[in-house]
Structure 1
Amino acid sequence: MRRGLIAALLTSLLVVTAACGSSDSTDSSGSSDKATKSAEATAPAKQKTSTIDAVKVAGDLGKKPTVTFDKPFSVASTQSKVIKEGSGAKLAEGQEVVVDYVGINGRDSKEFDSSWKNGGPTSFGLAKGKLINGFVTGLVGKPVGSRVLITIPPKDGYGANGQPQAGIKGTDSLVFVIDVKKAYKPLSKAEGTKVTPPKGLPTVKTDAKDIPTAITIPKGATAPKKLVSQPLIKGKGPKVTAKQTINMHYMAVNWRTGKPFDSSWQRGSYENLPLTRTPVKGLTAGLVGQTVGSRVLLVLPPDQGFGQALPQTDVKKTDTVVFVVDILGAN
């Protein structure tokens, strides 16, 4: 799955996301079969498989668990078990979930990712393609408020390619313990009262379903020197705060050239933006205080933008960039 250029720059790249790896059996390059054969050739000749019952989890709900098992640990299929059951509604695919979690490599029992280490709970879209398949399979149907243990084989994790940056090989099984804190369904697009913006700003074209398809820079206009944050639709939800992660659809255009360089709508999947972690100051400054359900036009001068040239685009370090953002949810 191709990760959006801006999303990769704006958000912390968490290992459980499917952005830099995939558990799909095929990919666009057609090289999956070769990779699988290569991985099989280098796999241990007699790798014993186990079950989820071989993993022991200790510790209080809400605190980082202690996870123990005999290594190397390997499973043939995704297995999940509720360690401590919550009283909330059961999770469904397509929801946004807020979790704490720790991920451990079954081969060497080393931790490769943890929200407790990263500074706090993390928000995910619970859907295959956004997360590794085993993570989704293991969580769907579990009650909110639960602590869940999931064991995942390579085919439901990162496949034959593994995840080298996390030290995960193509033959490694994964162990996760997840505390499910919250679940909700984000909006599909902005909803609320339309706002007439002042003259002289970029204009946003939408399709028959009111989805933004283009941003037009006013001819001959000089880019603003200060951040512009202009609602186009005023949502009726709560105000966004600086410590939240927002679910958003967006389109981005270079003011200098008028060319679009990224769009989550074109990819067909919204993105999550942790406002405390993005290096793009103008996004945090322009979205904090706006309400969920809003559509916001943002004009970011260079000192509020990326602070660098963006690869594979025409955006320079000195360029002003324009966003239109739909705020679909916040947690």
Structure 2
Amino acid sequence: MRRLLALLFSSLVLVVAAGCGSSSDSSDSSGSPKPKTASLDSVKVTGAPDEKPKVGFQKPFSVTTTQSKVLRDGDGPTLKEGQQIVVDYVGINGRDQSEFDSSWQRGEPAAFSLKRGQLIDGFVTGLVGKSVGDRVLLAIPPEDGYGEQGNPQAGIEGTDTLLFVIDVRDAYTPLSKAEGEQVTPPEGLPTVDVDEKGIPSSVKVPKTDAPKELVAAPLIRGEGAKVTADSTVTLHYTAVNWRTGKEFDSTWKRGAFITLPLRQTPVKGLSEGLVDQTVGSRVLLVLPPDKGLGQDIPEADLKKTDTLVFVVDILHARQADAG
């Protein structure tokens, strides 16, 4: 259940969720369904910088180890494992040339952690050591991708090699938690306990009626950039139901922050409550029902009439056109 809001927020989950695709114009002259080991040198990529590339190759295309090739050199810093990176990309199935995912199709670059366990291994292997500004061609065999189970939702079978063309827009290391000046919140709001590392460990809701309007109260005021309505934010949060007093989601307990564009966030109270806050801040948000989830989720004992409490650490923010 602790993945509940991550799933609601996730419109940009690269390489772990499929997008819609279309077929390439290339054809298989041999008609043979059996993949043959190939080289990236046989893949043709065309298209202007900053535009969606066209990818052509003879199908079926297959590799036995992850291969990468820089198609256009950037002049930015080198990518390191564990960083948060921002990319545009298109994903093509080597078996049938079908497009299974594309950030260009969604109109928004994707941001994610370049970390094993959060991405398929081949994506990490292929990008670590590349540079911001690079256009990179990747070929990933099943053992570095989805393995024998494939990804049926994306039309990926257990023997499929995946090809990606990736434009690296940005890379950064977010804060690990809020840091800044302690702020005393107004009385009558939920209180937050922290552990020895200063990380929220529990949220206690008062036995009073919940506020009728959105509340955004800083607990720590950071000194970083100000969040705008167009920002893409990286954050940790703990979420509690005012009615039950029970926690129903926590990125801290999952061990992974999330990154989301505020203008695409379905929870209005989050997108509105974080605007004008600063990076490094810890913000207590109280979301009335009209700014909450907007639906009943029985398995989490959440009702669309519930008031929700979020404690949010803002770890990074970037503008939509950054990179």
TM exceeds 0.5? yes
In structure 1, what is the equivalent of residue 239 of structure 2? 252
One-letter amino acid of the counterpart of residue 193, structure 2: K
1: distance between equivalents of 2:230 and 2:148? Answer: 37
Is 1:230 equivalent to 2:229 in the alignment?
no
In 2 relative to 1, CA 175–45 (structure 1 residues): closer, same or farther, beyond 3 Å?
closer
Is 1:317 equivalent to 2:304 in the alignment?
yes
Identity %: 64
**In the comparison of the two structures, how many residue pairs are matched?**
305
CA shift at 1:45, angstroms?
A: 9.2
Cα offsets for 1:221-268 (capped at 9, x unmatched): 101111111110001000111122111111000100000011110111
Is 1:149 equivalent to 2:137 in the alignment?
yes
**Counterpart among 106, 127, 133 of residue 115 in structure 2:** 127
2: distance between equivalents of 1:152 and 1:249? Answer: 31
**Counterpart among 168, 178, 181 of residue 190 in structure 1:** 178
2: distance between equivalents of 1:234 and 1:75? Answer: 50
In structure 2, what is the equivalent of residue 4 of structure 1? 3
C-alpha contact (below 8 Å) 2:85/2:111 kept by paired residues: yes
Deviation beyond 2 Å, 4+ runs, structure 1: 44-47
CA shift at 1:46, angstroms?
A: 4.9
C-alpha contact (below 8 Å) 1:11/1:277 kept by paired residues: no
In 2 relative to 1, CA 90–15 (structure 1 residues): closer, same or farther, beyond 3 Å?
closer
In structure 1, what is the equivalent of residue 102 of structure 2? 114
**Counterpart among 73, 77, 89 of residue 89 in structure 1:** 77
SS in 2 for 1:236: coil
Structure 1 segment 33-182 matched on structure 2, within 5 A: 46-182=34-170
One-letter amino acid of the counterpart of residue 293, structure 2: F
C-alpha contact (below 8 Å) 2:90/2:99 kept by paired residues: yes
In structure 2, what is the equivalent of residue 272 of structure 1? 259
C-alpha contact (below 8 Å) 2:12/2:111 kept by paired residues: no
In structure 2, what is the equivalent of residue 26 of structure 1? none
SS in 1 for 2:105: helix
2: distance between equivalents of 1:160 and 1:296? Answer: 43
SS in 2 for 1:210: coil
Cα offsets for 1:249-294 (capped at 9, x unmatched): 1100010000001111011111112211111111100011110110
In 2 relative to 1, CA 81–247 (structure 1 residues): closer, same or farther, beyond 3 Å?
same
1: distance between equivalents of 2:34 and 2:48? Answer: 37
Q: CA-atom RMSD, angstroms?
A: 1.6
**Counterpart among 210, 217, 224 of residue 198 in structure 2:** 210
Unaligned runs of 5+ residues in structure 2 are 19-31, 319-323
2: distance between equivalents of 1:134 and 1:309? Answer: 38
In structure 1, what is the equivalent of residue 229 of structure 2? 242
In structure 2, what is the equivalent of residue 289 of structure 1? 276
In structure 1, what is the equivalent of residue 26 of structure 2? none
In 2 relative to 1, CA 130–49 (structure 1 residues): closer, same or farther, beyond 3 Å?
same
CA shift at 1:306, angstroms?
A: 0.3
One-letter amino acid of the counterpart of residue 160, structure 1: E
TM-score (norm 1): 0.89
In 2 relative to 1, CA 311–10 (structure 1 residues): closer, same or farther, beyond 3 Å?
farther
1: distance between equivalents of 2:116 and 2:61? Answer: 24
